[in-house]
């Protein structure tokens, strides 16, 4: 009898511990990523997610890249005081209430508010190089991703390795646009200046690129009229 009681107590403890230790358990009323994905545009959404990077803060509004173990959520112009913005460090768990929207193919949460919760998660970059020409790529929209063994191509007919702004009309400090190829296909990448300004390592790295360089990259799988990754790291091989 004593052995049975001991076994039952151990089992009960193990089950209780397993339930408490799961940082991915959603609070009541919070959507899973699958439910968020299935939700109609313009509908109200409530998600729990983790800050991966902050793009900008202005006029008490923050734009933030976030992700959980199942997928990512781009938060655009979320209501946020400057004091709270400082608290949104990488890995911070937040509960977000807002509305699902789409702009030029980019699915995001707008008109949002948030609460900071207990918990932490930092995503590892998912290698999506082989998905670049596949329809499944969009399933990873806004996630932290990597691109491996790509070749820098000319950004325009001038042969430049990068452009300031999409059409070359910008100046130092503006977004950087560059192209890289893999498997015979060429893709456009961006260093978003609000996310990674001209003082960052990635901004300097892109300015130093030469056509023909072999590179590895990391960044967020942003979308604008098709895939338009926001790059946060470039390494020349």
Same domain? 225 vs 172? yes
Same domain? 224 vs 154? yes
Question: Could you tell me if 204 and 217 are in contact, meaning their C-beta atoms sit under 8 angstroms apart?
Answer: no
Same domain? 95 vs 133? no
pLDDT digits (tens, 9 = 90+) for 98-132: 999 999 999 999 999 999 999 999 999 999 999 99
What CA–CA distance (Å, rounded) separates 215 from 221?
17
Q: Could you tell me how far CA 193 lies from the centroid of its own chain?
A: 15
CA-based max dimension of the chain: 84
Same domain? 106 vs 131? no
Same domain? 111 vs 130? no
What CA–CA distance (Å, rounded) separates 151 from 210?
10
Is the residue at 20 inside a domain?
no
pLDDT, mean of residues 217-223: 98
Is the residue at 13 inside a domain?
no
Same domain? 130 vs 226? yes
| Distance (Å) of CA 188 to CA 3, 57, 64, 118, 147 | 65, 26, 22, 38, 12
Last-in-domain residue among 85, 102, 120: 120
Last-in-domain residue among 101, 120, 139: 120
Same domain? 89 vs 111? yes
What CA–CA distance (Å, rounded) separates 30 from 202?
36
Same domain? 131 vs 221? yes
Is the residue at 217 inside a domain?
yes
Predicted TM-score (pTM) of this structure = 0.88
Count the domains in the chain: 2
What pLDDT band is residue 11 in, cutting at 50, 70 and 90? very low
Report the CATH number at residue 193: 2.40.50.140
Is the residue at 19 inside a domain?
no
Same domain? 145 vs 218? yes
Strands, E, within 104-143: which ranges?
106-120, 126-127
Mean pLDDT (the chain, rounded): 92
What CA–CA distance (Å, rounded) separates 17 from 68?
21
CA neighbor of 36 nearest in space, from 75, 63, 62, 86: 75
Same domain? 114 vs 134? no
Q: Is pLDDT above 50 for 205?
A: yes
What CA–CA distance (Å, rounded) separates 70 from 33?
6
User: Within a 10 A sphere around the Cβ of 141, how many other Cβ atoms?
Assistant: 21
- Per the structure, the complete domain to which residue 111 belongs is given by 26-120
Last-in-domain residue among 100, 120, 140: 120
Is the residue at 204 inside a domain?
yes
Same domain? 204 vs 189? yes
Number of helices (H) and strands (E), helices first, in the chain? 4, 12
pLDDT digits (tens, 9 = 90+) for 20-77: 333 567 888 999 999 999 999 999 999 999 999 999 999 999 999 999 999 999 999 9
Q: Would you state the pLDDT for residue 25?
A: 76
By mean pLDDT, which of 2-16, 80-94, 175-189 is the weakest?
Answer: 2-16
Question: Could you tell me if 183 and 133 are in contact, meaning their C-beta atoms sit under 8 angstroms apart?
Answer: yes
Is the residue at 98 inside a domain?
yes
Same domain? 138 vs 90? no
Look up tokens 């009309």; give the residue: 169
Is the residue at 74 inside a domain?
yes
């Amino acid at each position: 009898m004593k052995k049975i009681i001991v076994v039952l107590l151990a089992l009960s403890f193990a089950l209780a511990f397993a339930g408490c230790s799961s940082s991915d358990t959603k609070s009541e009323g919070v959507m899973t990523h699958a439910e968020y994905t299935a939700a109609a545009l313009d509908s109200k959404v409530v998600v729990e997610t983790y800050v991966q990077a902050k793009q900008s803060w202005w006029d008490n509004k923050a734009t933030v890249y976030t992700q959980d173990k199942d997928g990512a959520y781009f938060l655009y112009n979320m209501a946020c005081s400057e004091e709270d913005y400082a608290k949104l460090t990488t890995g911070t768990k937040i509960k977000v209430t807002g509305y699902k929207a789409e702009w030029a193919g980019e699915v995001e949460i707008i008109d949002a508010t948030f609460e900071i919760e207990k918990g932490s998660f930092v995503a590892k970059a998912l290698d999506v190089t082989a998905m670049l020409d596949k329809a499944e790529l969009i399933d990873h929209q806004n996630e932290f991703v990597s691109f491996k063994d790509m070749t820098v191509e000319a950004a325009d007919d001038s042969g430049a390795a990068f452009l300031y702004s999409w059409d070359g009309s910008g100046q130092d400090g503006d977004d950087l646009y560059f192209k890289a190829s893999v498997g015979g296909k060429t893709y456009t990448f961006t260093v978003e200046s609000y996310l990674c300004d001209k003082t960052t390592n990635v901004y300097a790295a892109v300015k130093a690129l030469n056509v023909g360089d072999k590179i590895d990259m990391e960044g967020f799988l942003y979308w604008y009229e098709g895939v338009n990754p926001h790059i946060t790291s470039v390494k020349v091989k």
